[in-house]
Structure formats: C-alpha cells, structure tokens
C-alpha cells in the first residue's frame, strides 16, 4: 500500500472504530488514548481523558499530543509537576536551572 492508501484505510476503517471505542470509554468513565502511524511522522490520534486519570495515562496522552516535539512533551510534564508536585530528578534539575 502507498502512504496515501494507508492514510485512507486509517480514515475510513480505523478512525471510526477508535472513535466508537473512545465514546464507549467516555460514557463509562474510562480514559482512552490511541495513536496510529501510516508513515513516519503521519499519525492520527483519538483520546478521551477522564478528570480522574492517572499520571501514566496522562503522560501517554501528552506524548501523543506532542507529535514528536520533545519541548512540548517536557513542557506538559513541567506544567503538571508545578501544579501537582512530582518526584522527578530531571524535573528538579530543570527547575534549578530556571
């Protein structure tokens, strides 16, 4: 398959199923994160994050939402750490340099 064909497959076959799963999860208070890559750097994402979601799920969501941008991911980690506290050696190192 070409990248265009893989993207069309994702758009027509996979994305609707993921959206249905995300809605079912949301209706039942379950967080859900999925990402699909049809060629390097070309992805589709589906997510529903509950207010009560834990850090493991939130970190996965931030990584997906960052689209490979380390600064965006680190920024989300720093922001969450400032708001909620953390025990990360690396975030403490960043805080000491700012």
Over residues 39-95, the pLDDT tens digits come to 999 999 999 999 999 999 999 999 999 999 999 999 999 999 999 999 999 999 988
Domain residue spans in the chain? 1-51
85 backbone φψ class: left, alpha, beta (φ>0; ψ -120 to 50): left
Beta strands in 54-97 (DSSP E): none
**What pLDDT, in 10s, does the model give residues 47-61?**
999 999 999 999 999
How many whole angstroms separate alpha carbon 88 and alpha carbon 85? Answer: 9
């Amino acid at each position: 398959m070409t990248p265009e064909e893989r993207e069309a497959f994702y758009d027509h076959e996979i994305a609707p199923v993921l959206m249905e799963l995300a809605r079912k999860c949301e209706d039942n208070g379950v967080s859900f994160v999925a990402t699909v890559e049809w060629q390097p750097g070309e992805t589709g994402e589906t997510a529903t994050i509950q207010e009560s979601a834990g850090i493991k799920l939130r970190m996965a969501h931030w990584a997906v939402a960052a689209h490979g941008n380390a600064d965006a991911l680190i920024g989300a980690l720093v922001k969450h750490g400032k708001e909620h506290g953390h025990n990360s050696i690396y975030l403490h190192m960043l805080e000491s340099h700012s």
